[in-house]
Amino acid sequence: MEDLHDKTQGAAVFDVAEFLSQLIRVPSCDPPGGELEVARLVHQALLSLGIGAELDEFQPGRANVLGRIRGAGRRKAMVFSSHMDTLPPGATGWSRDPFSGLIEGGRVHGRGASDMKSALACMVAAAGEIAASGTPLEGDLVLAFTAGESNDLLGARRFAAQGLKDEIGAFLCGEPSDLDIIVVEKAVLWLRLSARGRIGHVSGEGGANAIHALMAGLERLKTFTFDLPAHPLLDGPTLSLNRIQGGSANNMTPEYCEAVVDIRLPPGVPADVILDRLAAHLGEGIALEVIDFKPAVEERADSPFVALCARICEEERGERPKILGVSYYSDGAVLMDGVEAPFAIIGPGHLGASGTADESVPVENLHCAVAICRRIALAWLGSGA
C-alpha cells in the first residue's frame, strides 16, 4: 500500500484525495462483485491509523470491513456507513479511464468518485483524526463498510446477521448528498410479473403465446395509479418496467414470459397493500412475485440529531444545508430496519451523478466531509464538536 501520510508538516496527515484515488484504481463493480481487493486496502488503511479493524471475506471475493474506535461503553455506538462496490462504468461516454483515479482540476475522477468511495475515504480519514487525537468517547465509533450494496445489500445483510444492529445508537451514511442532509429514503419493491402460455411449433396450431399475454398485462400496468398521500420531502411513488424476457426458440410459441418492475414508495406504505391493488388491476393470467423489498428509512427533520448535523454542516460549508428526501436506497434499509436510532445521509458526492460517465468529486468536498464526519461523531459521542 502506498504511503498516504503527508509528513511535510511534522505530524502525519492522511491524504484523503490520494486514498480515494487508490480505491478508484481498484475496480469493484457490482455486478459482478469482487470487493475483496478494495476491502484489503481499507482494512490496511484503518490499521495504519491505529484503528482496530476486521476483514470478513464472507463469500469468495466478497468482503466487509468493520473498524472500531472503542469508547467508554456509556452510550451505544455511532456507525459510519459506506459501501465498497460501485456500478459498472458502461462501455461509452467516458473521456478518461474510469479506473484512473486521476486527481486533476481540483477533482478526483473515476468510477466510485461520487458513489461512494469518496465517502468511505472521508470516513476513514475522519476516524483516523479521532483516533490520533486520543479524545475519549462515551461510546464506540464503528465503521461499517460493505460489499454488494448496489444490488442486494449483501454486505449489510451480513452485518445484520452478525448483530451490528443491536449496537446502533446513531447512523451516519455517506451516500451522495452534495453535503446536504438526507433524512428519508423510499422503500423499494422489486416484482416479477409473469404469464404462461403453451409451447408449440409456429407451423402448427397448438401454441398459446405467453409474450402476448404478458404484454396485455403490461398495457394495463400503464394505467395503474397509487393514490397515496404526498410526502413533504419526496416526489410521488414511481413504477419502472426494467426487464422483460421470454421464449426459447425462434420457431416456437413462447410458453413463459416475465418482466421485472421497480417500485419506489414513501415511508408508511405497506408493500402488501400495493401488491393486492396491483394484482387486482392486472387481472387474471398475470402472476406477481416479490423479488426483494427494501424498507424505507426516515428520521424526523426536526430531530436533535438532524439539528446537530445541520449546525456542523453550516459551519463547515458556510451555508445552511438543505434537508432532503431521496428515491435511492442505502445500507440503512437493512441496518436501520426496526432500529430506534437517529439516521442521516451526508456525503461529498453529487446527488445526481450515480452511474453516470465521467464521475468525479471535488477535493474541497472531501476535506469538508472529513471535518463534518469527525465533528458529528465527537459531538454525538459526548466529547463536543
What does the pLDDT look like over 101-121, one tens digit per residue?
999 999 999 999 999 999 999
Cα–Cα dist 55/43, whole Å: 6
- Name which of 4-8, 293-297, 357-361 the model is least confident about: 4-8
In total, the chain counts a number of residues equal to 385
The residues, ordered by sequence, that sit 6+ positions from 79 with a Cβ below 8 Å of its Cβ are 142, 143, 144, 164, 167, 168, 170, 171, 172, 335
pLDDT above 70 for 12: no
Intra-chain end-to-end CA distance of the chain, in Å: 32
Report the percent of the chain where pLDDT is more than 90: 88
pLDDT above 60 for 7: no
Domains identified in the chain and CATH numbers? 5-185+297-380 (3.40.630.10), 187-294 (3.30.70.360)
- pLDDT tens-place string over residues 319-330: 999 999 999 999
What confidence score (pLDDT) does residue 250 get? Answer: 93
User: Could you tell me which of 286, 285, 291, 284 has the C-alpha nearest to residue 263?
Assistant: 291
pLDDT above 70 for 143: yes
Q: What is the mean pLDDT of the chain?
A: 94
3-state secondary structure of 239: strand
- pLDDT tens-place string over residues 178-220: 999 999 999 999 999 999 999 998 888 778 999 999 999 999 9
Cα–Cα dist 149/259, whole Å: 23
User: Could you tell me which of 110, 46, 142, 135 has the C-alpha nearest to residue 356?
Assistant: 110
